[in-house]
Structure 1
Amino acid sequence: MTVPSAAPTGPVEIVGTGLVGTSIALACRRAGVEVLLTDVSSEHVRTASGLGAGRPRVAADRPQLVVVAVPPDRLGEEIVSALTAGDAVVTDVGSIKSQPLAHVLTAVDEHEAARYVGSHPMAGSERSGPLAASASLFDGRPWAVVPHAAAAPSATALVRGLAELCGAVPLELEAAEHDRAVARTSHLPHLAAVLVAGRLAGVPPRDLALSGQGVRDVTRIAGSDPSLWEQIVTANAPAVLEVLGEVREQLDVLIAAVDAGERTALHDVLARGVRGTQAIPGKHGAPTRPMVSVFVAVPDHPGELARLFADAGASEVNIEDVRIDHDPGREVGQVELLVDEGRSQHLLDTLESRGWLTHR
């Protein structure tokens, strides 16, 4: 049963002022909630404070809610420390839920454990640190709320309220269910990007000159902090191994199909990929709609993107996504505008009437 949310009134303490922790702090401040900042790095606390994310915690402070936003290896000990230090509700925003929960349940008594509810906002960036933070990082994003059997309903309600206060959409899951889901939707995509990007290291520059937007799209998230991902993957090893095994089976099928020239088998693998992309929820969680890419050649100098977006806005066609591909051989970039299939021709006509070179 889903517990009604209860918005935090504060103070909210953020333990760990990196990207996610500082973004939560900024979102809380946006809502007028007092925020206390704690971090092993005094420089991070100074930076986050300077951004308006809150103030350093002092001994006399009594937070209503503690949000632990530290790397996976430190989650369990920091959650336990927060639970035993006072009477606040404690949540964490780590990407693994089973391992820290097991640590907590063996380290504290049942009354303290009742104040702990894990959570995980599904938002982030390949960038890190407080300077990468944003109050809008979680707007419209799913936020897993992961209570355990002994969690107090009021604690669950408060953590749901935090997610909503930050602009996110809370989704309640069990710890094991969460870890299986993120292995498939987050950890596997990251590892796949890493493997593809790793094949580019040491490649001659002449070959890399042929890089298109596709390789940038596939490898973008591979630029994230390796030490952080080392912790994430090892903490969720059982679920990650399960999906990696599935991929290995499909890779064997793909290799055999290419080696034997079996186009039917190859088509099946490729078509399965198409079905997978169609299964990803669309905007606002709705089913995906048929989309079309409209490509526009944009001169690479100031003001051109602004002019393009103004002209696209004049068409009254909603732009669902934007990608930019820079042509290394010309002083021009290519902007891809993703729009509803039924509105693409109108956008093309409008842009061409205003002098843009376009194609679909």
Structure 2
Amino acid sequence: MTSPTAPRTATVIGCGTRGLAVAFALRGAGAQVQLLDRDPRVVARAQELGAGSLWLPGLPAADVVVVATPAATVVDVLYEAQARGLGRAYTDIAATDTKEAVAAEARLRGCDLLGYVPGNPLIDPGHVPHRPTTAANGPFTGRIWILCPYQDADPTATAAVDALVRLCGAHRRDLTPAQHDRAVAALTHTPTPGVAAPAGCPSGPLRPARSGPDGRAGTAEQPRR
């Protein structure tokens, strides 16, 4: 099986530190990036830095939509983005140890879980770029990027998010939301040198899984809808 095609178009919602990091990685790989943020001044600054262009109504659905807002707003933003048909696949990158609560709220809210793959790249907050990067020199290079795909998630959506992770130079690791929360909580209280080191791989549950025949990380227990 061939590797998933890297996204050619993407919409990043939320132009804070993590949103900019993803936008820069996408731009560095040649993708067209559209930007959305509740504060027009933040979008304008992101444009000045070369992170992408302002999203405008009428644009075709993006290959992938990245929700880069705080965890407390992820579900609201996701629901609205899906209702507006902004993309063909959706993910979030909220740095939180409450993915299980986010996943449950998304289910209750009526979000399209088939096209949504929760995520959390474990990046060093002190390593934030201010220009487009590549998979070889970005803040995600060699890092763990946790995905929590639903058991019956659309394979096309999962492949699109997997391609995003690869494009950013990160290592995909599949966990259930509950496993994610326990692992991240442990990291928060007990720093793991491997996570902080750009080229390192953390031990325990966050070690990058061995790639399977299709190049994806090894399987993990999948969250159910």
Structure 1 length as normaliser, TM-score? 0.49
Q: Deviations for 1:261-287, whole angstroms, at most 9, x for unmatched residues?
A: xxxxxxxxxxxxxxx879x99954388
- Assess if the C-alpha contact under 8 Å between 1:117 and 1:147 holds in 2: yes
Question: Any conservation in 2 of the 1:148–1:175 contact (CA below 8 Å)?
Answer: no
Change in Cα spacing, 1:281 to 1:66, as seen in structure 2 (3 Å) is closer
Counterpart code for 1:16: G
Separation (CA, whole Å) in 2 of partners of 1:285 and 1:124 = 13
CA RMSD of aligned residues (A): 2.8
Q: Radius of gyration: which is bigger?
A: 1
Contact 1:8 1:65 in 2 (8 A): no
The aligned amino acid for 2:189 is: L
Determine if contact 1:19/1:124 at 8 Å carries over to the other structure: no
| CA distance in 2: counterparts of 1:9 and 1:81, whole angstroms | 22
Distance 2:131 2:150 in 1: 29
Counterpart residue number, 1:207: none
Q: State the partner residue of 2:52.
A: 54
- Label 1:67 to 1:188 Cα distance change in 2 as closer, same or farther (>3 A): same
CA distance in 2, matches of 1:100, 1:286: 25
- Structure 1 segments, 4+ long, off by >2 Å, are 7-10, 131-135, 280-287
Contact 2:50 2:131 in 1 (8 A): no
Q: d(CA) in 2 for partners of 1:277 and 1:91?
A: 27
**1:95 shift after superposition:** 2.3
Match of 1:221 in 2: none
1:116 correspondence with 2:98: no
Give the 3-state SS of the residue equivalent to 2:115 in structure 1: coil
For residues 221-240 of structure 1, what are the structure 2 equivalents within 5 Å? none
- The aligned counterpart of 1:188 is 189
Contact 1:89 1:155 in 2 (8 A): yes
The equivalences for 1:191-206 within 5 A come to none
Distance 1:65 1:77 in 2: 17
Q: Is the 8 A contact 1:26 1:134 kept in 2?
A: yes
- Number of residues paired by the alignment? 194
The aligned residue for residue 28 of structure 1 is 26
Give unmatched runs, 5+ long, in structure 1. 191-275, 288-360
Partner SS for 2:72: helix
> What amino acid does structure 2 have at the position aligned with 1:285?
C
Partner of 2:43: 45
Residue 29 and residue 162 in structure 1: after superposition, are their counterparts in 2 closer, same or farther (change >3 A)? Answer: same
TM-score (norm 2): 0.77
Deviation digits for residues 82-113 of structure 1 (CA, Å, limit 9, x no counterpart): 2222152110001232122111111226xx22
Q: Structure 1 82/57 Cα, relative in aligned 2: closer, same or farther at 3 Å?
A: same
Say which structure is richer in helix: 1
Structure 2 unaligned segments of length 5 or more: list them: 204-225
Give the fraction of aligned pairs with identical amino acids, expressed as a percent.
29
